Structure 1
Amino acid sequence: MDHAASYVHGASATPLLGETVGAMLDRIAARWPDRPALVVRQQGIRWTYAAFHAEVERVAAGLLALGLEPGDRVGIWAPNRAEWVVAQFAAPKAGLILVNINPAYRSHELAYSLNKVACRALILPRAFKSSRYLEILSGLAPELATSVPGGLRAAALPDLRHVILLDDEPAAGTRRWADIVADTEARARLAAIETELSFDDPVNIQFTSGTTGAPKGATLTHHNILNNGFFIGEAMRLTEEDRLCIPVPFYHCFGMVLGNLACVTHGACMVIPGEGFDALATLEAVAEERCTGLHGVPTMFIAELEHPRFHEFDLTSLRTGIMAGSPCPIEIMRRVVRDMHMAEVTIAYGMTETSPVSFQTVAEDPLELRVSTVGRVHPHVEVKVVDEAGRVVPRGQTGELLTRGYSVMRGYWGDDANTRAALDEARWMHTGDLATIDDAGYCTIVGRLKDMIIRGGENIYPREIEEFLYGHPDIQDVQVFGVPDERLGEQVCAWIRLRDGSSVSAAAIQDYCRRHLAYFKVPHYVRFVDAFPMTVTGKVQKYLMREAMLAALAEKAGA
């Protein structure tokens, strides 16, 4: 039979929200002033929506009182804490653009990011774990030691004027967060500015990972992130009764959109278990705060399920949450539903440039589809799957996924060439992901265009081999990628993390694969490792694994 074209659009009776982030917060805080809004366990903070709204208003007006103007960029370089959430809502309220800076960045990446978007202010803590943020900044801007707060003029950071410190102890050239003052004049100015804002104004710049070059600043609007957060919450069936545990980083869309904005658009409570991910702290937060939802990337859920104290915690309050950020192993999904009581857990797929979610499963989807696909297209979003020539392929065929609609970014900040490469003339965002869409509209992500392995003319999708190997009783985690081969073009390589106490040989893994997979999919190289190179958001960096394997093979060849 002839298959329909791989084109879907999210027709919906629920309209898009035509308001700014600030107007939405005003509306929600007025409706549920006494409901819990934010719990930050490490800081001892428990704010109602009325208290959270008041703090957002104070900081929004206070930033304007510093001399910042609508459209100015404000960077935040910090782990998960209350001030991050406040800044996320205060900046757009004042017409400012919040710039998310990866907490793992060091001096080179920091300078690049701040200068690329001409940041006027930077919010940061003195330190977090091994990152001494203030020292790194002072190394870039030694003028900080002799400047007065708000008067910074640093040669290496020519646009930066204000450094706001998330610390009780003052430091030269900085202003403490607690000292941001919202006087009567600034509050009046804030009110006036809010009447002039458009929901199409940019409010957020997020840097893509930069694994293939310098990071690019995806520029997102009120309309982009507010609506995506709202419809994510709709898919999760969030209400003002829900309490969502958010251990994923705020600087990434997963934390600030799928987490914070999904909650606030529904009057739900944001529960922050710690500054960075810790499996034990997350389990404690869920149990003690009676969370109804939990977010995470697959590696986080694996760490929670494998924690030696996992069975001590009462997780029966859980019902929903999102697993996303990288392909979700089927077996892990089953355990999350069974052992963590997350019967309504959803899978979401997207990318920073699309605010981010384009596909999501819903509670009504059968478990088989929730563990094998990324669901159906999000409301008000269009998607098509195309071949190399840009033609839409029939349902069930593999091609590149393209997305269009309210969620697509304005572009990359100050980077017309990369914007044109990603966004075509018809405003389709080229994701670089390989996908199929079935006759019922369910999407399966097959892999990255760049991750696809071509071995002797055979197209191999690493995801398929990874899913198969997750079913091996000794394997806890696995990543599959291609390495160059003179004869076949590429060979399949598998990096494997074994379960504690397990012992199995590479030859045994290969024999296991030969019994069940086509010969060309059997990993030629198998390496057992303790960990994978990761980004802060839990995305595995396969290019670093490929480089390590190439170095090891070259060393072996030269021995």
Structure 2
Amino acid sequence: MSLVPFARWPEAFAERYRRAGHWRGEPLSQMLADRVSAQADAIAIVCGGREISYAELDTASTHFARRLANRGVGQGDRALVQLGNQAELYIVFFALIKAGIAPVNALFSHNRLELMAYASQIRPRLLVASRAHSLFADDEFAEELSELIPELDTAVLHDDPQPELRLQRWLEPVTAERSFSPTPAGEVAFFQLSGGSTGTPKLIPRTHDDYLYSVRRSVEICEFDHHTRYLCALPAAHNFPLSSPGALGVFLVGGRVVLSSDPGPASCFPLIAQHRVNVTALVPSALSLWLQAAPTHRTEIASLELVQVGGAKLPESQARCVPQMLGCRLQQVFGMAEGLVNYTRLDDSDERVYLTQGRPMSPDDEVKVVDRAGKPVPAGEVGALMTRGPYTIRGYFQSPEHNANAFDAEGFYRSGDLVRLREDGYLVVVGRIKDQINRGGEKIAAEEVENLLMAHPAVAQAALVSIPDDAMGEKSCAYIVSFDAHLKSTALRKFLRGLGLADYKLPDRFVHIDALPMTAVGKVDKNYLRRRAAEQLTVTE
């Protein structure tokens, strides 16, 4: 079978990245082989009551790869994987990398619509899932997948009652009948999911070369080493906790990954205390819960040294609370599964850490900020972010129409973010292009207003969305999660005016809500809020 087709970097760029030492011609599984050689008995993963060493991780993944090879599933094939925050996710990932099988790692929160869409795109031969997911509690959906994808001839299910299907059985020793090997380093290793919240996420082909460089460079900036005890509380398959530096960064240097089933403080704080966790990654919504819980749990989180926050814009008011409330450093992370990752540095000034989302991690990251006509804007002005580099893709998988809009003729990726590029090279995220509200011709960046609202002492979370309006085209509605049930819209407008916000940016409507709805990757589900606003609200204020 032929290898996965994808949009490759032009050879001149590829050669430049090889000469710079970014691309080293190694498979992603090399990090595991290196760790086994250096520290085979060190603990790699803590999952519930289990501790799995690097040798055990390597051995189990090799057994799985060998069994797949014996079945004739190997280099050039594809897999659909859906496992939760459990050690088996990493075992399966390394097994498929070793066998040259390119997986899509669906999030455990994904359901029928998403999995059918992924399967339709990649045409997998292999399905790896869990009976714990409602889709696979019986065989109905698996049979539906098989009808849709005739090539799907191998299914492996965690905790299946039938031994021949049970994932645990596939991790046991077996005699080699056929050889197996990873795809070449310049070929697709696996597919990531786009972090967009509109429609089904597009598939992002990541090669061994580009992804391993991203992990390696992230480790250098974030200073992970074999002492790192990393709590993975976000969905483990997501790009942020997988590679920034994430679990793969921990495995690269021989640290330890501690898995949590969810990012709430009730689940995470005891794990931090038990395993002396010193690093974790959160999205702002989870950080907000941690900050609320921290005052009564200081001893439990005393080992924390660094909290990374990404996935959405972190308000300055929350950023400044991290050292005081959690007793550790903050690192802002602004990245995308398509490539570019920006970090504040560990030795940055408070001003940079609290007010910016960092700067690109690679010297060969190319960034430009442009206006609607595609022309660069002066430093400090708001524009659309475009980027290319040694770990930023050149195209989504089998999406020619979308690629025509998402990439320009020079290979720059249009991220959809509105940013300011400061003279010192640091980026400040203002919002999303599609998250602008056009109020009678005046453009409002939703995140700007949200961040100001969250500076109010009674506001825990805020989300600003558009409401259709006959006269203005759009007006705005602010959904508020508040500590004060009696907080009035008049008080919030007065507060915003006091901060100097222009009148046209003041929300036209305020709605109190118990909790903001979230997407699978922990971002506010603004599509849902827009639908709710359009269906239920009439602007009267």
Asked if Structure 1 and Structure 2 have the same fold, meaning a TM-score greater than 0.5 normalized by the shorter chain, the answer is yes
Give 3-state SS (helix, strand or coil) of 1:527's partner: strand
**Per-residue Cα deviation, 1:479-505 (whole angstroms, up to 9, x for no partner):** 122223333332232110012x55311
Contact 1:111 1:157 in 2 (8 A): no
The alpha-carbon distance between structure 1 residues 511 and 156, as it changes in their structure 2 partners (threshold 3 A), is: same
- Which residue among 462, 477, 481 is the counterpart of 1:497? 481
Matched, 1:224 2:216: no
State the alpha-carbon separation in 2 of the partners of residues 326 and 438 from structure 1.
19
The alpha-carbon distance between structure 1 residues 47 and 176, as it changes in their structure 2 partners (threshold 3 A), is: closer
- Percent pairwise identity: 28
Contact 1:100 1:206 in 2 (8 A): yes
Which residue of the partner structure matches residue 170 of structure 1?
Answer: 162
Q: 1:83-482, aligned counterparts within 5 Å?
A: 83-128=88-133, 131-135=134-138, 138-142=139-143, 154-167=146-159, 169-170=161-162, 174-180=165-171, 182-186=173-177, 189-190=179-180, 193-194=181-182, 197-208=183-194, 211-258=197-244, 259-274=246-261, 276-307=262-293, 310-311=296-297, 313-343=299-329, 345-354=330-339, 357-379=340-362, 380-409=364-393, 411-482=395-466
State the alpha-carbon separation in 1 of the partners of residues 345 and 476 from structure 2.
34
Q: AA paired with 1:546?
A: R
State the alpha-carbon separation in 2 of the partners of residues 212 and 311 from structure 1.
38
Q: Which moved more, 1:310-319 or 1:65-74?
A: 310-319
The alpha-carbon distance between structure 1 residues 332 and 96, as it changes in their structure 2 partners (threshold 3 A), is: same
The alpha-carbon distance between structure 1 residues 170 and 429, as it changes in their structure 2 partners (threshold 3 A), is: same
Contact 1:65 1:181 in 2 (8 A): no
Shift of 1:180: 4.4
Q: 1:22-33, aligned counterparts within 5 Å?
A: 22-33=29-40
The alpha-carbon distance between structure 1 residues 320 and 471, as it changes in their structure 2 partners (threshold 3 A), is: same
State the alpha-carbon separation in 2 of the partners of residues 77 and 522 from structure 1.
43
Contact 1:56 1:86 in 2 (8 A): yes
Contact 2:298 2:326 in 1 (8 A): no
Which residue of the partner structure matches residue 50 of structure 2?
Answer: 45
Which residue of the partner structure matches residue 494 of structure 2?
Answer: 511
State the alpha-carbon separation in 2 of the partners of residues 267 and 308 from structure 1.
29
CA RMSD of aligned residues (A): 2.5
The alpha-carbon distance between structure 1 residues 350 and 209, as it changes in their structure 2 partners (threshold 3 A), is: closer
**Per-residue Cα deviation, 1:282-309 (whole angstroms, up to 9, x for no partner):** 1111111001101110111112222388
Matched, 1:531 2:515: yes
State the alpha-carbon separation in 2 of the partners of residues 206 and 398 from structure 1.
29
State the alpha-carbon separation in 1 of the partners of residues 436 and 298 from structure 2.
42
Give the structure-2-normalised TM-score: 0.90
State the alpha-carbon separation in 1 of the partners of residues 168 and 394 from structure 2.
31
State the alpha-carbon separation in 1 of the partners of residues 428 and 490 from structure 2.
31
Which residue of the partner structure matches residue 63 of structure 1?
Answer: 68
Give the structure-1-normalised TM-score: 0.87
State the alpha-carbon separation in 1 of the partners of residues 478 and 107 from structure 2.
29
Using CA pairs below 8 Å that are at least 6 residues apart, which structure has the higher relative contact order? 1
**Per-residue Cα deviation, 1:223-260 (whole angstroms, up to 9, x for no partner):** 22222122222221111111111101122112222211
Contact 2:130 2:136 in 1 (8 A): yes
Q: AA paired with 1:63?
A: L
State the alpha-carbon separation in 1 of the partners of residues 202 and 153 from structure 2.
23
Shift of 1:477: 0.8
Q: AA paired with 2:170?
A: D
State the alpha-carbon separation in 2 of the partners of residues 96 and 410 from structure 1.
21
Give 3-state SS (helix, strand or coil) of 1:450's partner: helix
Contact 2:385 2:418 in 1 (8 A): yes
Q: AA paired with 2:269?
A: L
**Aligned residue pair count:** 521
Contact 1:170 1:176 in 2 (8 A): no
The alpha-carbon distance between structure 1 residues 353 and 117, as it changes in their structure 2 partners (threshold 3 A), is: same
Contact 1:386 1:401 in 2 (8 A): yes
The alpha-carbon distance between structure 1 residues 168 and 40, as it changes in their structure 2 partners (threshold 3 A), is: same
Give 3-state SS (helix, strand or coil) of 1:352's partner: coil
